[in-house]
Every structure is written in structure tokens, then in C-alpha cells.
Structure 1
Amino acid sequence: MTGALRWACAFLLSGLAQQNIAAPLDEPIKPIPRWHTENGPRAELGRQLFNDKRLSANQSISCASCHLLDRGGADVRAFSLGLHGQATGFNAPSVLNAALNFRQFWNGRSATLEEQINDVLLSPVEMGANWTDVLARLSADRVYQQAFAANYSSGITQENVQNALATYERTLTTPKARFDLYLEGDSTAITEEEKAGYGRFKQYGCISCHQGINVGGNMFQRFGVMGDYFKDRTPITDADQGRFAVTGLEEDRHVFKVPGLRNVEHTAPYFHDGSAPTLDKAVEVMFKYQLGRRATDEDTRLIILFLKTLSGEVQVVP
């Protein structure tokens, strides 16, 4: 079991114990607990780093530049812009509930949030930095000197910067979605039409990949199970190779981490290539290429109503 998965399981069990309720055993989706156990001062330090442009080589962008918390933790553009204004290869995934994913990045190349942070900071397209320069800039800041000294006996180090950022990101969970309230026993938390949308979500098989606490994020799947998405959407880019770019195995070509669907109404555009500008389009594409069927207008309407019940609130760091 990965560290992120162990954290998610412990998080779920502790939260449910405090609420004195049991997640329904017969539902494939589980509610996000309302409490986290992260170190508050370290999370606050991570929040400051998350918003600090000094982490990039030319000090022009921060983590928050591409992960907008008021837009579902994602970017409004199909591709984020790196430190020199060039487009990244992938649509920025949401940072909200990222700690609940079993791997990070669309192709799953990082096992932990700490690894993901290192990858982004060193990427020549994204932050283009190196740790020697970043640590020097942070060490010259008296506020950071004091904050790191108070939280880490070893002070300002690469490991501690990564840990502070990851600690903050682990607090960015979004409990208390209306669907979670429904799972916790409040049958009035969602409407009959929203329940019908959930029913169709399960009936058509969407639930086979989008389940668990993050409604996804816990498995890999081929994009184009029932149709050749990439043949229809040419030209092919390096990002389209999916897991193949990581493993070199032919069976991993066009295989991606299944995205979590929490707060999905706020994270357009969709897919690794940002090709679906709306939820309606995303549902249409999923029906065609993953389910091998056409979504009726009523299917789309009801399923989107259900998806909107998955939006929750970011927890406040204590």
C-alpha cells in the first residue's frame, strides 16, 4: 500500500470514528473525513512556499500560478504557462484532494507529493529551478529562517521544503460535499434528480474507474477503451503516450491515472490534453471512448447534476 493510500485510509477511519457514523458498505464512493492530522505550523509554512515565486528560476511563477484554489485547484487554461511563458505538456491536475491519489501526475510518474514537488521545481518548462539557488534565496529571508528553525531542527533544506509543501497540500481536502452528507445518512442532502444521475453513473459503468474516496485517482486506465481517441484527435503529442513514457511498456501506451472527480464542476477544461471545454463535452467523450455508447441529453444532464454534488469545502489549517 502506498503512503498516500495509507494516509487516505487512516484519514477516513479516524474521521468516521470522530463523526460516529459508518460509511455505507454497499457504496463504491466514500466520504472525505472532516478532519486532518497534519502539523498546522508546517502546513502554514507550506502555504507560504506554495505562493512564493522565488521557487522558480526567474522568480515569475509559484505553485499557485497553475493551481488556482478558487478554480478547483486547477488552471483555467488547457495548458499552464511555465517560467518563460511556454505551454506545459499536460493540463494541470487539481491540487485539491491530490493527497488522496495513489500516484501523482497524469502518467503517475511520482509516487508521492514530495516527489511531485521536486519534479515540477526542476522541470525546465515549469519552474526551471535548481535546489541550490532556491535554498539560497529562502535562506536569505529572515522570516523563512525563523519559520524553518521553529519547525525543523535541520532548518532550510530541500527535504524540509518538500515536506512543508506536501504537508500544506495534504490539508487541501474538500469534505462536506452534499454527496458526502448523503453518504453519511442525510437522504435530503441531494435531490431525486441528483440521485438519478448517480444511478446512471453506476448503471453505465462510470463507477468502475471513478470510485473510492476521491471518486477516482486510485488506478490507471487506457484512454480509449472502446474507441481510438488518439486516432480521432491527431496529431499525437509526447504527453499522449501516458504511462508508456514512464515504463516503456507498449501496454502502457495511452494509459493514464484516472482523475478524481471531486470539485470537477470547477476544473474545466478536462482531460490530460485539456480538450474538453465543458462538462457536457467531457461526458460525451467518456461515453464514446470509454463506454462505447452515446450519451443522451438526459443522461448528460442527470450525470452532471450528480457530479456537481461532489464539490466540497477546503479545510482551514488549524
Structure 2
Amino acid sequence: MRPSEQLSKRKPASRVRAGLAVCCVFAGLHGALAAPAGEAILPLPQAARQDPAKVALGRRLFSDARLSGDKRQSCAACHNPAAAQTRTQAQPRPGMLDAPTVFNAAFNFRLYWDGRAATLEQQAGSAIENPAEMAARWADVLRTVEQDADYRRGFSAAFRDGVTRANIEQAIAAYERTLTTPGSRFDRYLRGDYGAISAAEREGYARFKQAGCVACHQGVNVGGNMYQQLGVMEAYPDRDAAARRFKVPSLRNVARTAPYLHDGSAATLEQAIGIMFRYQLGRPGSKEDQALIAQFLATLSAPPGAQP
């Protein structure tokens, strides 16, 4: 069934129309991809090619615990490749936010939950010194990298000026830009392979749109391109969170990134969907709604490096 045919079966809510308008504004951030008629979600493009030498350095740095203050914490400790680049447990202490996935982060308009980093390079640089993340000092990091003969050779080959803070940030960002997951079943559906998702998954997508989820979760990353208040229709029961606006998270690979929400308080995808129905959409979502939308969201998963 074509996407436009599925839409014709339901009367779109006003918030869905608003979401489609927002999508038109943000679609231009991601190049010349054209969405199928009536669709708020765009297929994920292939990542831009990166310098292999810088990527190799960034991959090693990403997993190197010596970059942290206590020499035990690496980027990969919170962005676990086996868990779609996220942390597998709920927040380790009150007030600490869950680690967003690094998959497809290159397509987000800002980084971190509060959007304080504009680029992957800025995010990598600030994480080193953040006491809640790597808790290191750049002077110590530079000394550690400079004293490693393999790193020295690698940086000399990849950069004219060798080991510097800017070059470490560039290398990590180059690696992170390769962590894209085009080629999901849903992307194939958007590109015209209408048998790529099941009837139940199509129904889940129809309910996702009908409920108004696409007002915030749209574009190539199915999110990641705007801020939104947590608790639009009802105050969320977390005083700190209710006072803040968060960057809307991408739903790419979301079926693999439990636990959910900014604090990791939702153990399952269905539970997270139910919370969104109540606090963001202002109505209860039935168990059937939750199950079908979760089935749709599973179609957004793909391994890194798959072909679009």
C-alpha cells in the first residue's frame, strides 16, 4: 500500500498538519532529498565520505579510556556499539541525563539534550572536560596522546600539525560521521518498496501520524531537528525536566536503545510511547496503539553502513 493511500484512510488531526508544516521548514537542512507526497519522514541518505586516516584515529580515540580523568571511562562506555551507541542502564545517578545515540548524530541540528554543541567537534571537545562525562583536562589528554608512538604516527600522517586539541576533535567527529544507518526497511518503503513493511507496521505508522507524533518526529532523523518542552499537555512529574526544553531525539534505531526518555526511566518502547501519549499528546494511548506504533518504530532500525 502506498503511503498516500494509507493516509487517505484516516482524517489527519490539526497537530499532524502542523507537524507537516514544521517538516517542510527543517527538510532543507538535509540536502535535496524529496519526501514522498504527504510524508513527513525522509529516507536517510548515505553519509558523506570521510578521510580514512582520520576515521581510524577517531575510532581508536572513541574507545580509549586513557582520555578520561580516571583512565577508566571512554566515549564507548556510554555510547555502546552493542546497544546502538547508547548506555544500556538507566541514569547512574539522579539528575544525570541518558546518553543519546551517536548513530546518525551527524544529521541532528544540535548535539546534547540541551543542544549546547553545534557540531560533532564541539561535542567531542566538551565531553573531555565535562565532569559528568570524561572528567579530564585537555593538557593531560594531549600529553597522553602525544606520548603514544602509534598516535603520533597516525596524527602526523592525517594532519599537518600532528597532535592538537582541534585535530583530536576532528578525528573523533570524522569517525562519528561514519556511524549512519541508511537502508532501514522503512526507508525502503518510503522509496517505493511497499512490501518492505508488514500490514501491522503500516498500521502503526498510520497511528503514529494520526496521533500527531510527526509534529516533532520527522525529517531524515525522525527527530533531532527541533526543541520541545517535555510535558506539553500535562506537567511531567519531574520538576527539573519540566522546567527545560529538550532537543527532540531521533527515533532511528530506537527499538534497540532501551531504556528511554532523558532519564532512562522507561524500560520498554511501549512504556515510552504511553508516556508520550499522555504528556505530549494529551490523551491515553491504548495498548494496541502502543504495540502497533512500537512495531512501526522497529522498521527504522538498520546496521551502520547499510546501503540506502
Indicate the TM-score class for this superposition, using the shorter chain for normalisation: 0.7 to 0.9
- In the alignment, what sits opposite 1:57? 69
Check if 1:36 corresponds to 2:45. Answer: no
The answer for unaligned runs of 5 or more in structure 2 is: 1-25
Pair 1:87–1:292, CA change in 2 (3 A): closer
- Which residue does 2:148 correspond to in 1? 141
Look up the SS of the partner of 1:310 in the other structure: coil
Given the alignment of the two structures, is residue 293 of structure 1 paired with residue 305 of structure 2, yes or no?
A: no
Distance 2:77 2:29 in 1: 27
1:87 deviates by 7.1
Q: Is 1:263 aligned to 2:275, yes or no? A: no
Distance 1:289 1:88, change over 3 A: closer
Give 2:304's match in structure 1, choosing from 293, 296, 314.
314
Percent of residue pairs identical: 48
Structure 2 counterpart of 1:130: 137
Q: Distance in 2 between matches of 1:200 and 1:190?
A: 15
Instruction: Give the Cα separation in 2 of the matches to 1:7 and 1:56.
Output: 37
Is the CA contact 1:88–1:125 (under 8 Å) kept in the aligned structure 2?
no
Residues 30-68 of structure 1: CA deviation (Å, up to 9, x unaligned): 111235322222111100100111110121110001101
**Residues 177-198 of structure 1 deviation map (CA, whole Å, 9 limit, x = unaligned):** 1000111110110011111110
Checking the alignment, whether the CA contact within 8 Å between 2:233 and 2:281 is kept in structure 1 is yes
Match of 2:159 among 152, 160, 169: 152
**Structure 1: 4+ residue segments shifted above 6 A:** 5-8
Deviation per residue, 1:201-260 (Å, 9 max, x gap): 001100000000000000000100000113xx4xx34xx26xxxxxxxxxxx32110000
Query: 2:23 corresponds to which residue?
Result: none
Deviation at residue 272 of structure 1 after TM alignment: 0.8
Equivalences, count = 281
Give the corresponding residue for 2:207: 200
SS class of match (2:70): coil
Aligned to 1:248: none
Q: What is the one-letter code of the residue matched to 1:213?
A: V
Correspondence for 1:46: 58
Q: Provide the secondary structure at the position in 1 that maps to 2:305.
A: coil
* Residue in 1 that maps onto 2:108: 101
Aligned to 1:9: 30
For the 8 Å contact 1:88–1:126, the answer to whether it is kept is no
SS in 2 for 1:229: coil
Q: Distance in 1 between matches of 2:134 and 2:292?
A: 40
Structure 1 gaps of 5+ residues are 17-21, 81-85, 242-252
State how far apart, in whole Å, the 1-side matches of 2:28 and 2:281 are.
Answer: 32
What is residue 66 of structure 1 aligned with on the other side?
78
Question: C-alpha offsets along residues 148-187 of structure 1, whole Å, 9 cap, x if unaligned?
Answer: 0111001000000000001110110111110001111101
Is structure 2 residue 274 aligned with structure 1 residue 279? no
TM normalised by structure 2 equals 0.87
Q: Which SS does the other structure have where 1:221 is aligned?
A: strand
Residue 214 of structure 1 pairs with residue 214 of structure 2:
no
Deviates more, 1:148-157 or 1:33-42: 33-42
Is residue 227–residue 246 contact of structure 2 (8 Å, CA) maintained in 1? yes
Tell me which moved more, 194-203 or 33-42: 33-42
Residue 297 of structure 1 deviates from its aligned partner by: 1.4
Q: Give the whole-Å Cα distance in 2 for the aligned partners of 1:222 and 1:6.
A: 21
Which of the residues 196, 219, 230 maps onto 1:223? 230
Q: Equivalences for 1:113-124 in 2 at 5 Å?
A: 113-124=120-131
1:256 match: secondary structure: strand
Partners of 2:129 and 2:135 within 8 A in 1: yes
* Partner amino acid, structure 2, of 1:181: R
Distance 1:87 1:117, change over 3 A: farther
Q: 2:244 aligns with which of 250, 254, 273?
A: 254
SS of residue matched to 2:273: helix
